[in-house]
Amino acid sequence: MSAGAALSAPVFAGVLCAGAAAWVLAGGERVSRRARLVLAGAGAGAVAVRGPARRERLLIAVRVRAARWREWACLVAGLLVAVAGGSVIPLVAGAGAVPLVRRWLRVRARERARAARAAEVVELCGAAVAELRAGAQPGQALTAAMRRTAAGPGGPGAAEAGVLAAAAFGGDVPGALRLAAREPGAEGLAGMAACWRVSVDGGAGLAAGLDRLEGALRAERDRQESLRAQLAGARSTAVVLALLPLVGLLIGTGLGANPLRVLLHTPMGWGCLLAGGVLEGLGLLWCRRIVRMGER
């Protein structure tokens, strides 16, 4: 085998492994796309009635099931590297990374749940406007709209159940809406409470106010989605740069330098491994801070 072929093989393997790891850390977009196709092709009776908020909640359930194994991928990778390098250090590092990955996945799940709840609030406003323009009373319209939009995989929460009870039995609907608006992603319910209060006290049209509120919430959601799409490239670039040291290890192994032996069995290698891990973590935190500042 020529020197060029010997060099290209580890480079190709490193790029392939880095791409696979980036796919795992990015959240398995292939599963998301497949779920979207399945939900989009499930027929009008299954998806069209449920609406975008319900579809988003089903996608969250699919992602949660697909992400259960990802938090243990670090332990499996550490075990493989420990066997290859003849050291227990990678196994300990992989076990220590499991709670960090679990926390990261939970944060992402909360963000998706927040986005799904915001979409559900927009859908609730639209459904209530449709019921009001069809001739329903405000309490009946809100009850029918909530029954159409709040029957996701987990069912309505305690705050949503309070709103439903207040609307169905003539209770304090604005107070229940303000209480439900405290949940992440449901801040738009505070605007619905204000529209309800103005409509009851001043006689203003509830349908017109909710229609304007729906437009404002939809525009805000579209703006946030556009911002997240623009920042997706920065996040992917940070993940790829974080995986470059692994590519260097693979290239060194392909060239016969045996970097795992140096890193795992010598004091100098232990120092380099510790310093590299600290710098890697600081770099990821710095990139995350830059992305957060861009979002704000």
Q: What is the pLDDT of residue 231?
A: 84
In a domain, 220, yes or no: yes
Closest CA to 127 of 97, 159, 167, 166: 167
Between residues 148 and 268, which one has the greater pLDDT? 268
User: Has residue 31 got a pLDDT over 50?
Assistant: no
In a domain, 5, yes or no: no
In a domain, 6, yes or no: no
DSSP code of 184?
T
Q: What is the pLDDT of residue 216?
A: 92
Q: What is the pLDDT of residue 40?
A: 38
Alpha-helix residue ranges (DSSP H) falling in 27-157:
29-40, 51-67, 73-85, 89-133, 138-149
Q: What is the pLDDT of residue 219?
A: 92
Q: How far apart are CA 187 and CA 144, in angstroms?
A: 21
What mean pLDDT is predicted for residues 188-192? 89
User: Has residue 12 got a pLDDT over 60?
Assistant: no
In a domain, 107, yes or no: yes
User: What would the pLDDT profile of 54-98 be if each residue is shown by its tens digit?
Assistant: 555 555 555 555 556 777 787 888 888 888 878 888 888 888 888
Q: What is the pLDDT of residue 164?
A: 80
Cα 36–213–52 angle (5° rounding)?
A: 10
User: Has residue 210 got a pLDDT over 80?
Assistant: yes
In a domain, 16, yes or no: no
- Structural domain of residue 197, as residue ranges? 25-295
Q: Say how many domains are in the chain.
A: 1
In a domain, 20, yes or no: no
Phi and psi based region of residue 213 (left: phi greater than 0; alpha: psi -120 to 50; beta: remaining) = alpha
Q: What is the pLDDT of residue 62?
A: 56
Between residues 18 and 203, which one has the greater pLDDT? 203
In a domain, 216, yes or no: yes
Between residues 33 and 141, which one has the greater pLDDT? 141
In a domain, 226, yes or no: yes
Q: What is the pLDDT of residue 155?
A: 47
Q: What is the pLDDT of residue 44?
A: 34
